[in-house]
Amino acid sequence: MAESAAPSVVTDDMRAQLGVEGPETVSEVTTTGCRLFARAVGHGDAIFFDAEAARARGYRDVVAPPGFLGTPVYRPNAERAERAEGPPGEGIKIPYKRILNGGTTYEYFEPICAGDVITSRGKVTEYQERTGSIGPMLIVYRETTYRRADDTVVAKVYGNIIHY
Amino acid sequence: MAEQVYFEDVEVGQPIPEIRKNCSTQQLVIWAGASGDFYQIHYDLNFAKRTGLDNLIVHGALKHAFLGQVLHDWVAPGGRIEKFGCQYRGMDYPDQDIVCGGVVTGKSVEGDRHVVELEVWTQNPSGQKTTPGTARVVLPSRG
């Protein structure tokens, strides 16, 4: 890729956010959530659906399928609040209007099973600026750490969003 | 389920068994509910067309989860997925085949962990890898 010709859009406020963890999000790994996720993907392994099958294979309960870290939590009016204050924990104002999800990586340290309550906190780890075929862009790299109630880190999710 | 794959049975360059997906709009609706991603470009064709798309598109995160299934089905019951990820490079559409596969790129023993590295992907009917990625799994050893 060519060297960025556009002026940098990374502000001091944005640099100050690097490595700063945002607020906690709590989500529950439920049997219902595991089953629905596994059904949506098309999994055939019974450990994602049935507690007995999971226990027979040494798990505590129904297993969270790969990519599932808890039932999404819906909060009424959350979208409106975010728009007013900006995304929680971020002082990031990016001038580019369009975004692309550049990719996602899940890293697992412990099996995750139904009954687990997972607390996650995210942070921005890096900004990259480039000029590509779609013009100047800013790539924001984030890392989110997921902990069980006993504080064991069970997973990390790495993602990047391309603003252009 | 297939027989257990052991670390010693695996060679660099070896492909892992593919899974062929073909998403109905019903599957995309189930995924919307499971993932909490209710963006209408994935199930409301009129909405998708108003945003300039020609068709509904398959959620990127669902294709990522397909890679999780390919890996899980290969390593189960005795192995474990440690890490898997992909980039979102191209769109896939309902009622079209999405072939999910992978190939072994590396093997190593780290302490008591028997680690296998892979390239993974989903591929569209034109042969384009729309979600290329990498993965790391551990397999049981015969030793």
State the residue for tokens 């990498």: B134
- The predicted model gives A5-17 an average pLDDT of 87
- Examine residue A102 and state whether it is found in any structural domain, yes or no: yes
CATH of the domain at A149: 3.10.129.10
pLDDT at A72 over 50: yes
Mean pLDDT, rounded, of chain A: 89
Domain that holds residue B76: 7-138
Strand partners, A136: A131
pLDDT of residue A132: 85
Strand partners, A143: A123, A158
Nearest residue of A to residue B32 by CA position? A40
Domain of B83, CATH number, reads 3.10.129.10
> Residue A146 belongs to what domain range?
1-26+91-164
Percent of chain A with pLDDT over 70: 88
Cross-chain Cβ contact A45/B73 below 8 Å = yes
Give the number of domains in chain A: 1
Q: Is residue B1 part of a domain?
A: no
pLDDT-wise least confident of A102-106, A122-126, A132-136, B124-128: A132-136
Per-residue confidence (pLDDT) for residue A5, from 0 to 100:
61
Helices assigned H by DSSP within A95-150: none
Q: How are beta strands B80-87 and B15-22 bridged, if at all?
A: unpaired
Q: What is the rounded average pLDDT of the residues A8-12?
A: 91
Q: Which residues of A touch B87 (CB under 8 A)?
A: 102-103
Query: How far apart are the CA of B101 and the nearest CA of chain A, in angstroms?
Result: 15
pLDDT score at B48: 96
pLDDT at residue number A91: 54
Which pLDDT belongs to residue A84?
A: 45
Cβ atoms within 10 Å, residue B5: 20
Please check whether residue B30 lies inside any domain of the structure: yes
Size (chain A), residues = 164
Facing B72 at nearest CB: one of A45, A73, A104: A45
Question: Which strands sit side by side in the sheet containing A117-132, from one edge to the other?
Answer: A25-28, A117-132, A135-147, A153-163, A99-108, B80-87, B133-138, B113-123, B97-110, B15-22
Nearest to A37, CA basis, from A74, A73, A57, A66: A66
Nearest in space to A37 (alpha carbons), one of A13, A6, A61, A68: A68
Residue from B69, B82, B113, B129 to probe the interface with A (highest A Cβ count within 10 Å): B69
Domain count, chain B: 1
Which residue type, as a one-letter code, is found at position B73?
Answer: D
Q: Does B88 contact A at CB distance below 8 Å?
A: yes
B111 lies in some domain: yes
Question: Looking at residue A62, what is its pLDDT?
Answer: 98
pLDDT recorded at residue A92: 67
B143 interfacial to chain A (CB closer than 8 Å):
no
Q: What is the ipTM of this complex?
A: 0.96
In a domain, A55, yes or no: no
